[in-house]
Amino acid sequence: MKRLILAASLAAFAPAGAQQSVIQAPVPQISVGSVGEVKVTPDRATIQISVQTRASTAAAAATENASRQKAVIDALRALGLRTDQISTVGYNVMPEQRYEPNREPVVVGYNVTNTISVDVTDLSMVGRIIDTAISRGANMITSLNFYASNTESARREAIATAIQKARLDADAAARAAGGSIGGLLEVNIGAYFPPPRPLEYAIQVTAARAADTPIQPGDQTLSVNVNTRWSFLPGGGQ
């Protein structure tokens, strides 16, 4: 019994360092960043169509504007567009002033601009929509954007491509350092989706055309950034 008590007492007064666990050296690692890209084809478009009118009074300019914009909307509805595909996104009344030296500005007229946004789900209709709007009184196409509505499968394909590229780069780095890569320790995925691709379209014509305006949306590139960490096995892992 005395021997057991003595052994316990000695253990209690042993140096603190002797009781601590051994700290393992950090595992050698290789960090690699990569980008995966996949082409996607737009399947939707948004068109902003404006009617701008000018008159000596704001009321006269607004009245003419309302008549012309209503004709535009009615014509677009006749093409088969639904009510939820057409929305007003801007309305502006601005005085037009004349400036002369040493005099107060004089209002000489008013400009009224009414802008609608059209959501197009059939890209073959884009040219016809533009031409129809122009023929009914629209005098500005302020923007035309194409975008892809479903990119989930393309995003996953881009992720797989990025990780494969990262593994190849990590393997090359490990061989150059005289070793090989082990398992994947960490992966961080940051997706970048391309914004709608704008197409500048200047309208100078106010008459109807014999054929639809040709529109080519083209493809977009979806990119995914990936950051990875791999274990490094010195000497080829032997």
Least confident of 53-62, 88-97, 128-137, 196-205: 196-205
Contacts of 217 by beta carbon, 8 Å cutoff, 6+ apart: 41, 42, 45, 123, 126, 146, 197, 199
Tokens of 110: 């008013």
Q: Is residue 224 scored above 60 in pLDDT?
A: yes
Nearest to 208 by CA among 127, 108, 132: 132
In 1-68, at which residue ranges do the beta strands (DSSP E only) sit?
29-40, 44-55
Give me the torsion for CA of 94, 96, 100, 104, rounded to 10°. Answer: -50
Residue 100: what pLDDT?
84
**8 Å CB contact between 219 and 40:** yes
- Give the mean model confidence (pLDDT) for residues 211-237: 84
Residue 15: what pLDDT?
54
Q: Where are the domains of the chain?
A: 25-41+149-195+215-238, 44-147
Nearest to 195 by CA among 50, 48, 42: 42
Residue 197: what pLDDT?
61
HSE at residue 134, side-chain half, CA atoms within 13 A, is 23
Q: Is the dihedral of CA 92, 95, 98, 99 positive or negative?
A: negative
Q: Is residue 220 scored above 90 in pLDDT?
A: no
Give me the torsion for CA of 135, 137, 139, 140, rounded to 10°. Answer: -90
- What is the pLDDT confidence band of residue 193, given thresholds at 50, 70 and 90? low
Nearest to 50 by CA among 108, 136, 145: 136
Return mean pLDDT, the chain. 84
State the Cα–Cα distance between residues 116 and 90, nearest whole angstrom. 7
Beta partners for 173?
none
Which DSSP state fits 180? E
State the Cα–Cα distance between residues 99 and 81, nearest whole angstrom. 44
Which architecture, in CATH terms, is 44-147? 2-Layer Sandwich (3.30)
Superfamily of segment(s) 25-41+149-195+215-238: Protein of unknown function (DUF541), domain 1 (3.30.110.170)
Residue 6: what pLDDT?
37
Q: Is residue 84 scored above 80 in pLDDT?
A: yes
pLDDT, one tens digit per residue, over 126-149 is 999 999 999 999 999 999 999 888
Q: Please tell me which residue, 101 or 237, carries the higher pLDDT value.
A: 101
State the Cα–Cα distance between residues 55 and 111, nearest whole angstrom. 7
Max mean pLDDT among 12-16, 79-83, 151-155 falls in: 79-83
- Give the mean model confidence (pLDDT) for residues 215-220: 82
Beta partners for 120?
45
pTM score, two decimals? 0.68
Contacts of 235 by beta carbon, 8 Å cutoff, 6+ apart: 178, 179
Contacts of 128 by beta carbon, 8 Å cutoff, 6+ apart: 79, 212
